[in-house]
Structure 1
Amino acid sequence: MSSSSKMLSILDLFSVESPVWSSDAICGVIGCSAPTGYRYLRELVEAGLLSRLGNGSYTLGPRVMTLDYQLRTVDPFFRIGQPLMRELSEQTGCDCVMTRIFDEEIVDTHRESAGGGLDLAYGRGRPRPLFKGAAPKVILATQTRPRLARLFEKHAAEIREAGMGTDFEAFWRGMQAIRKAGYYVSRGELEPQMSSLGVPLFASGAQAIGALGLVAPLSRFEFMDQAKLLERLQATAQKISGTVAEQAVSDQADG
């Protein structure tokens, strides 16, 4: 690992569960000397990515918040999807969630809520389990066989635990079934007593870059017109993807 990669890996240590780290703990985890660790920390503080607390510990800095704002501002899926998601949430009474995949990380990027909204454990920016829930499954179902084979080799135990197959062929068949259906219904997989209906979001190509989902309490979801929910959800996802694609073509023409 290069020195810059090791320095940036410090940012991965900070989480909701561990928001504050001491310099000694950071040096111990990333495996560097105290002088090197202090240099890394100084550079991250100067860049605004970390803030130094009075007791010699560190937390994420203000630059992280400004970068999040910029990401939401320039991301076409967020900008185009937000009003459409709000409309869908109001129509259905469900929470509407947009989820994206970044390498092997599944992250919710936006949520629109009807009324007071649901009390969900996962929200914008918090990484989700890779093999639990509707969103990850509809995204993974569109990936190529070689990529899924690499995922199975790396995460076989998690895949088995999630009931997605004891060997790769079983895992592959399950993914192909979801891909053919074009949607997936999760019942209590990610959060107990919650159900989610998810469909893939596409940019260009056959591999999904994310998912759009409707979330409702399991007890309520079972009495809803799921066929109608799916119809509305698919129409919204297609409109988001189509508008993003049209805008990309327009931007290229203007450029």
Structure 2
Amino acid sequence: MSSITRLLSILELFSQPRPFLSVEDVAVELDCSIPTAYRYVRELVDAGLLVRFAGGDYGLGPRIIKLDYHLRTSDPLLAVGQPIMRELSDHSGFDVVMSRWYGNELVDTHRETHDATLDLRYGRGRPRPLFLGAAPKAILSTFPKAKLAVLFDQYADEIAQSGLGATLDDFRASLLKIRRAGFYLSRDELEIGVSAIASPLFTDDSDEAVGSLALIVPTQRLEFANLDRLVESIREAAARTSQRTRSVVGSRGTDAINSSHTISRAKRST
């Protein structure tokens, strides 16, 4: 592991139950000397990624907040999706959540709240289980065979426990049904009393989803809701978000190419 990787891995040590760390904690976790741990921590403090508190412990610094703001304002999927999510929440009467798949992590990136009393266990930035709930299953259903095989090798037990299958063939067959439907409905999978209907999101012409939109419905209200209409609404909202995001991403790519050509011409002229 390189020094920069070890240094940045310190940020992964912070969590909700462990918001503060001492230099000694870092040394133990990284299995390094106290002076080395102190040097790593000092570099992160200088970069604004950590901040030192009066008691001597360290917590996440202001640069993290700035980076989160930049992420929220620069992500085209989020920029396009927010007004569509707000519209869907207003019309349906339910919360709408956007989730993104990053590497082998699934996190919620935005929630449009209609029911302020609905306390969800997971929120923006908190990693969610990869195989439980509507969001991950809607996303996984679009993954190519090779990627599903790699995931099955790594998470066979979790996949079986989620009901997606005890073998790779069963896993792929379960996801193929979801892919054909274009959505997935979960009932009390992630949280008791909470159901969700999710549909995949795309940012380019690839058939592999990068995220999902989900309607969050209290399970007790699900039996009284017009399920067909909810499914139609979430599929339409996800499709509209994907289409508009593709246009934005495509236009940015064209702008970048045009800019590159302009720079090249300018260099030749000099």
Task: Give the TM-score of the pair, scaled to structure 2.
Answer: 0.92
Query: Distance between the aligned counterparts of 2:35 and 2:208, measured in 1?
Result: 45
Contact 1:95–1:117 (CA<8 Å) still a contact in 2?
A: no
Q: Which residue of 2 aligns with 1:253?
A: 254
Instruction: Give, as a single letter, the amino acid of the residue that structure 1 aligns with 2:154.
Output: K
Instruction: Give, as a single letter, the amino acid of the residue that structure 2 aligns with 1:74.
Output: S
Report the CA distance shift for 1:68/1:58 in structure 2 as closer, same or farther (over 3 A): same
Q: How much does 1:249 deviate?
A: 2.6
Contact 2:202–2:246 (CA<8 Å) still a contact in 1?
A: no
Contact 2:94–2:115 (CA<8 Å) still a contact in 1?
A: no
Q: Which residue of 1 aligns with 2:222?
A: 221
Q: Which residue of 2 aligns with 1:17?
A: 17
Moved over 3 A (4+): 252-255
Aligned residues: 255
Percentage identity across paired residues of the two chains: 47
**SS of the residue 1:110 aligns to:** strand
- 1:101-112 alignment, distance < 5 Å: 101-112=101-112
- 1:1-255 alignment, distance < 5 Å: 1-116=1-116, 118-204=118-204, 205-254=206-255, 255=258
Q: Which residue of 1 aligns with 2:261?
A: none
Instruction: Give, as a single letter, the amino acid of the residue that structure 2 aligns with 1:225.
Output: N
Query: Distance between the aligned counterparts of 2:30 and 2:90, measured in 1?
Result: 46
Query: Distance between the aligned counterparts of 1:253 and 1:49, measured in 2?
Result: 34
The unaligned stretches of length 5 or more in structure 1 are none
Structure with bigger gyration radius: 2
Contact 1:122–1:128 (CA<8 Å) still a contact in 2?
A: yes
Task: Give the TM-score of the pair, scaled to structure 1.
Answer: 0.97
**SS of the residue 1:150 aligns to:** helix
Report the CA distance shift for 1:207/1:249 in structure 2 as closer, same or farther (over 3 A): same
Contact 2:194–2:219 (CA<8 Å) still a contact in 1?
A: yes
**SS of the residue 2:170 aligns to:** helix
In angstroms, what is the RMSD of aligned CA positions? Answer: 1.1
Query: Distance between the aligned counterparts of 2:58 and 2:253, measured in 1?
Result: 43
The unaligned stretches of length 5 or more in structure 2 are 259-270
Q: How much does 1:251 deviate?
A: 2.7
Query: Distance between the aligned counterparts of 2:251 and 2:86, measured in 1?
Result: 25
Query: Distance between the aligned counterparts of 1:147 and 1:115, measured in 2?
Result: 37
Query: Distance between the aligned counterparts of 1:201 and 1:243, measured in 2?
Result: 11
Query: Distance between the aligned counterparts of 2:179 and 2:45, measured in 1?
Result: 45
